[in-house]
Amino acid sequence: MTLLATSIWHGKIHTDSWTSGSAGLLDITEPATGHVLGSVGAADRADALAAASRAADAQRTWAQTKPEERAAVLRRAGMLFEDHAKEIQGWIVRETGAIEAKAGLETHIAANECYEAAALPAHPAGDVLTSNEDRWSFARRRPAGVVSVISPFNFPLILSIRSVAPALALGNAVLLKPDPRTTVSGGVAIMRVFEEAGLPAGLLQLLPGGADVGQALVEAPEVRVISFTGSTAAGRKVGETAGRLLKRAHLELGGNNALIVLPGADLDLAASAGAFGSFMHQGQICMTTGRHLVHESLLEDYVARLSDKARSLPVGDPCTGQVALGPIIDERQRDNIDRLVREAKDAGAQIAAGGTYEGLFYSPTVLTGLTPDNPAWTQEIFGPVAPVLPFSSVEEAIALTNASEYALSVGILGDVGLAMEVADRVVSGKVHINEQTVSDEANSPFGGMGASGTGSRFGGSAANIDAFTETQWLTMRPQIAPYPF
């Protein structure tokens, strides 16, 4: 039997085992064709609240499990992602509309996330503090308890596993709610891997469903930490609820990321980087290059090269041909992309390439003639659209970059010395010199500021330990202390 055989999960959610959800079925639809690939179970609020209670019970035992035993589960999970990579990639291609290279990136990073997390159980669990009293004093890290992970559709495997793996490794239980459109890639695959890796029952529970399930996973009394990746609008609601309930919410949200092309930059390389940054996975990435800031001396040639690349990139079904771009995830998202392109044109922008679609396949699009208040410049499009704006001085480029409410990723192309000066002055969670804006590694802290989220909360031992543990102060004396009472 294959890892993802539909007979295992069809019509099911996973709590202590695979079982029917109380809210019926969720169809998984292939965006490229409209075909239904299968159906998972749909949880409801009661399912989520019951799962939180079960998770809390399982977590207490897991937190006492030897570090080497927790690490072994994570290592086995990493190997299973490698062993079953082709099967999982097939689902990513069909379920998300990804090209094979993007699907391969997801399974590769998923394995690495598990391997990185496998080191966390052996990480020092705190600090020895000085004290003015006759005692030992420690600050020690303890598991947070139950962690809710709510993940989106665009990179469903990566954006789930990057929280699931470290949270489990550090002794927590996890309630996982993937996007309903990509539940197999973002949920079933992870559930099956950890089942086969020997994770004890109750520690990872899969709860596909709608907004009511997400709300329950924030409000459940047992949940102490919420790891949310998604839109800024939805993230604000999660953060508001978590704040009212005095829970920690780690929010990785939207982006409208700037690529700054400095004077003297190699135009062929810059246009290639810009095309990748804007068009990779149909622009459906929080790190997508949403703003191209190009020095005025390079503007005309840059737009020409970028437009040529846009027109030459094949768009189609990744399952049936060698394409660079697949389909948009659904009609609602496609219509939002097209609305912003039309509004941009109405506000004075010119369409240098693209601006058309057939079904869910949206052509790579280049916009010029914008002003800084154009909607295509100020809003996150989340589609294959590259708005280009000139700047005359580095000061202007920095000001335009920092004018956005988003602050997730910035790319700077050109002279390294000048780029270093710019990097020190832009407000962004990530800065990449001589690279475009889309980049992620399992051992690197990832996160944004402003409307892009609450800071670097994912990746690397320090960020993950901060995210998924609590700090406890512990003191110890050789005898009971004397008191004046």
Active-site positions read 252, 286
**In 3D, which of 400, 408, 405 has the Cα closest to residue 293?**
400
How many CB atoms are closer than 10 A to CB 106? 25
Paired residues of 126 in beta bridges: 140
Burial (0-12, 13-18, 19+ Cβ within 10 Å), 484:
exposed
| Separation of alpha carbons 179 and 232, rounded Å | 15
Dihedrals phi, psi of 441, to nearest 5 degrees: -140, 150
Token duo for residue 171? 């002794």
**In 3D, which of 328, 451, 311 has the Cα closest to residue 380?**
451
Token duo for residue 127? 């600090």
| Separation of alpha carbons 388 and 369, rounded Å | 8
Could you give the C-alpha distances from 253 to 51, 409, 412, 460, in angstroms and in order?
26, 12, 22, 19
Q: Put the strands of the sheet holding 146-150 in their side by side order.
A: 18-20, 12-14, 204-206, 173-177, 146-150, 223-229, 248-252
| Separation of alpha carbons 411 and 257, rounded Å | 8
SS3 164: helix
CA 403 to the chain's CA centroid: 24
| Separation of alpha carbons 6 and 244, rounded Å | 40
Token duo for residue 191? 């559930």
How many CB atoms are closer than 10 A to CB 128? 10
- Residues with Cβ within 8 Å of 287's Cβ and at least 6 positions away in sequence, in order, are 255, 257, 408, 409, 430, 437, 438, 439, 440
| Separation of alpha carbons 405 and 480, rounded Å | 55
